[in-house]
Amino acid sequence: MNLADFTKILIIGAGLLLPGLLLAQYYDDPGLGQKPVAGYPQDYKPLGIRAGAFMLHPAVQLTAEWTDNVFFTKGDKKSDVIYHIRPYITAQSTWSRHSLNITLAADYAPYGDYSFQDYTDYFLTVTGRLDVKNRSYTSYGATAMRLHEGRNNRDAEQGFEPTIYYLYGANLGYDHTFNRLTLGAVLTFNRLDFDNAYSLVDGVINNQDRDRDTYNWSARAAYQFRAGMQAYAAYSGGTVKYKDETDRNDYDRSGDGYAISGGLAMTLTGKLDGDVYARYVSRSYEDPALPDTSGWGLGAGLTWTPTYLTSVYAMADTSVQETTSRYSSGYLRTLYSFRVDHELTRFIQINGFVSYSNNDYQLIANAPPDARSWDHVFRSGIGLNWFINRYLFLNASYDYAKLDTNAPDNGYTANSVWLTLGIER
């Protein structure tokens, strides 16, 4: 498994296995989340290195990224070139029973002109499975990440340099199948720890009021009513506990939440895999001045392979997100994304994607008319991969991003071009 596959599983799998997760933070960061290769053609898949009972895949990606709006501003745009050095290594067990996967990755990104924007992201993840007995297994995982908030983040005050934050998490689950009925449960813990930032105007930006622990549990029941199709229902609940009793605006944002989901999981003729579902999410807060954030949404996580040369990925998800905005308790985020990969030849692959996010902020009473109440984030892009052999590929891609919002002078448009050399064993 390469890093692109792992990142996709990490993000999409979280939505499918832990419905309505109350972590309330999306990790679609500009570094580790953008990978040009969703899947290698069969003849160009890296073979890896056998190390006992594990297969190792060491790799590095060397990237030059040009953007015309490095600070994501509405006017007075500044361009720059960002250089990315992305080493990573994955280790996969080859046991006949049980499994263990380890991924270690980093993204060192120096800027050509605005060096104060330089950052280094990295993460370590461990996932695995213990086959307890026939049709029963225990799943587990642990994560440690050091990430940064990009300039396109509008949920918190940004400083002169990127805001660094850390994520530590662990999960434990169990699934058992009784003939046609499958029952499962998952326990999850996550901790977010933000560094302070520095503003040239206001001095130190104290981000300690954003630090929080999140405890979640979820239960899922699925019934297979025909071959390759399951109907399922899931419930998840959780608690968000902030480190500080009140934030910078004297609000107590700790509280509880829950999510209810129901849908259909399918595997049809080897062409279509995934699920579709409806979900209701709700989040309440300790401070009575903060209104609840809740809403309905439709979700999906689908992979369709109409031919051996074409793969289509579609995802939709609704969740409650945290914010330290002065005038809102939180916001309901609905995200839709769509990607197509197609092999023109055995060694040339083209891809395109489009995504749309609707962020609906829950405003407090007496919020001013210009308070942020909605964001619409649109992204699209195209790319081309040239696989030289099993160890080398070249990528060229273009990315467009746009933010529409009711907040004055807060929108932006940005164009980016990426050139990447990938090396993987």
DSSP string, 120-134: EEEEEEEEEEEEEET
Per-residue pLDDT, 172: 97
Strands (E), 308-391: 310-321, 328-343, 348-363, 374-387
Task: Give the per-residue pLDDT at 279.
Answer: 95
Report if pTM > 0.75. Answer: yes
Mean pLDDT of 344-354: 93
- The alpha carbon of residue 113 and the mean position of all alpha carbons in its chain are separated, in whole angstroms, by 29
d(CA 69, CA 78): 5
Rounded CA separation 38/311 (Å): 9
Least confident of 17-21, 105-109, 301-305, 306-310: 17-21
pLDDT at site 37:
76
CA separation for the pair 421, 87 (Å, rounded): 12
* pLDDT tens track for 394-411: 999 999 999 999 999 899
Q: What average pLDDT does this structure show over 57-86? A: 94
Q: What is the mean pLDDT of the chain?
A: 89
28 pLDDT tier (thresholds 50, 70, 90) = very low
Question: pLDDT over 90 for what percent of the chain?
Answer: 77
Indicate the SS3 state at residue 368.
coil
Task: Kindly indicate the confidence band of residue 29, based on its pLDDT and cuts at 50, 70 and 90.
Answer: very low
Predicted pLDDT of residue 170 = 97
| Res. 75 pLDDT band, cuts 50 70 90 | confident
- For 9-47, b/e burial (b = at least 16 CB within 10 A) is ebbbebbbbbbbbbbbbebebbbbbbbbbbbbbeebebe
Helix (H, G, I), strand (E, B) or coil at 11: helix
What's the whole-number mean pLDDT along residues 356-382?
Answer: 93
Residue pair 259/296 in contact (Cβ under 8 Å)? The answer is no
Whether the CB-CB separation of 256 and 237 falls below 8 Å is answered with yes
The residue range of the domain holding 7 is 3-424
Number of domains forming the structure of the chain: 1
pLDDT, average across residues 354-369 = 93
Q: pLDDT confidence of 328, banded at 50, 70, 90?
A: very high
Query: What is the average pLDDT across 19-28?
Result: 43
End-to-end CA distance of the chain: 11
Q: With a cut of 60, say whether residue 417 has pLDDT above it.
A: yes
Tokens 């983040």 locate to: 153
Listed residue (255, 363, 278) closest to 22, CA to CA: 255
CATH of residue 129: 2.40.160
Distance between CA atoms of residues 287 and 196, nearest Å: 24
At residue 8, φ and ψ (nearest 5 deg) are -60, -45
On whether the CB atoms of residues 48 and 56 are closer than 8 A, the answer is yes
Asked whether residue 35 carries a pLDDT value surpassing 80, the answer given is: no
pLDDT at 270: 76
